[in-house]
Amino acid sequence: MLIYPEIQPYLLKLGPLQIRWYGVMYIIGFGLSYLLVRKQIKNNRIAMSKEETENLYLYLMIGLIAGGRIGYVIFYNLFYYLNNLPEIFAIWRGGMSFHGGLIGSIVAGILFCRQRGKDFFALVDIIIVTVPLGLGLGRIGNFINAELYGRVTTMPWGMVFPGGGELPRHPSQIYEFLLEGLLLFIILWFTKEKVKVKGGMLALFLVLYGLFRSIVEFFREPDVQIGFIMGFVTMGQILSFSMILTGLLVFIVMRRKQVI
């Protein structure tokens, strides 16, 4: 059994004000994504100014936060929030859904492209390859917060998490960092020049993330308010399976359009 390295969840604390590692990780992730997207825009000679890119990221951040919160409310705790409507806006108490955040970001990206006359699929293909960086850093933030830990295990790398009981558990946040963050980024980054179908990188991301997340869900502790669905499936797996189907559909439709 490994010892959980208890780290303060905040980088800086000034009275009631806290700069938490989780938030810092996402800021770094957005920053890295922005730099890599600007590099790809220049290399691919896409007509997109620095100011337009900054505005796009503002749209994406708003979509991520709004979608992540709405997704959590709908997918994970709908009945509670229907009876406690003001709590929907209390995002500082936690409760964000990646799947909802992805949907919110895509909707925001579509709105931006329609307003500015940009090709959505051309842009999303260069943005999506950088998304795993933010995902991976976010999972490190989850680990520091000792949240979203895994199921009880007898494996030698199991950890006793604060709030997770006395038994060692899978450090599933690290599994997600390695699969959904590091490995997914490597695959997408070194595949981006080889996929010629417009929208193909978005499709590949949806399929691979859905696959990796579905695997990790076998080790991750289900949300206590939901538990298992049908006795063995988690909400995360249902949403991830939907991502895989959506990714396959996007690829088939976009390939047919380009062949025609």
Per-residue pLDDT tens over the stretch 227-236:
999 888 999 9
At residue 259 the predicted structure's pLDDT band, cuts being 50, 70 and 90, is low
Beta strands 10-14 and 17-20 are antiparallel
When pLDDT is averaged across residues 167-171 and rounded to a whole number, the result is 96
Residue 19 in 3-state DSSP? Answer: strand
> CA neighbours within 13 Å on the CB side: how many for 125?
23
pLDDT at 49: 92
**Rounded alpha-carbon distances, angstroms, from residue 142 to 24, 175, 191, 240:** 12, 12, 28, 19
pLDDT at 122: 92
When pLDDT is averaged across residues 170-187 and rounded to a whole number, the result is 98
Alpha-carbon gap, residue 68 to 19, rounded angstroms: 20
Tens of pLDDT, residues 51-104? 999 999 999 999 999 999 999 999 999 999 999 999 998 877 778 899 999 999
Tens of pLDDT, residues 126-157? 999 999 999 999 999 999 999 999 999 999 99
pLDDT at 224: 85
At residue 185 the predicted structure's pLDDT band, cuts being 50, 70 and 90, is very high
